[in-house]
Amino acid sequence: MQVLKKRGLSTAQVVFFASMVALDFGWGMVIKTALQLTAIHSVARLEMIVSVMLMVLTRLMLDRFGTLIAYELAWGLLAAVFMPAAGGEPGFLKLVPALTQGVVFDALFTLLRRPLPLRRAYVAVLVGGLIGPSAAMVVRTAMGMPWATATQFLFSISLVTSLAINGLGVWLALSVWKRINGLQAVAMLRTA
């Protein structure tokens, strides 16, 4: 959290940021565990709809470069410590795709700020949603996972479902943002 503080965030903004990451991680732990009982979780990670929504709302509230890099790294560190075997990459190797995805998210959110004020969320999350899982697959294959036809097929399905889930998460975030953007509490937190 010291990194966030050095970039000029107020205490209220750091608390908001930490709360959103904790909410996202807690949501994922509970819902992911419940969904693992079904076969759908191996094809589509439905819990990610809410996670994407929380991430996009965090970036819209704290609209500066580095927010989503820190968000992804904080989430990745929590996952490395509390769920080291989950997700395919063991332990701290989870930080490679998290960092890659965070950089893409933040870069596109920042570069597209003027031409696409709200639609930039779709572009950033959809492109990052393709590059992040691709980085995770590179880590897995580097660790010895065979790049067989079955792996390629499942990876393709994963990318398609990732696009749909990320798109739905962004739509949900922008729907919430339209309702809360004009609130005084939001304006105070954004300028705090």
Type of residue at 99: L
For the segment 7-50, what is each residue's pLDDT rounded down to a tens digit?
Answer: 578 899 999 999 999 999 988 888 877 777 776 655 567 788 99
Which residues 6+ apart lie within 8 Å of 50 measured at CB? 24, 27, 31, 169, 172
Which uninterrupted H or E stretch holds 111? Answer: helix 95-111
- For the entire predicted model, the pTM comes to 0.87
- For residue 88, pLDDT beyond 80: no
pLDDT of residue 40: 62
Structure tokens at 181: 């953007």
CA distance linking residue 103 with residue 97, whole number of Å: 10
Contacts of 51 (CB under 8 A, 6+ apart): 24, 27, 28, 169
Q: Strands, E, within 24-99: which ranges?
A: none
Residue type, 167: G
User: How large a percentage of the chain has pLDDT more than 70?
Assistant: 91
CA distance 36 to 81: 20
Is a pLDDT exceeding 90 seen at residue 74? yes
User: In the predicted model, what is the mean pLDDT of the chain?
Assistant: 86
- Give pLDDT, residue 5: 47
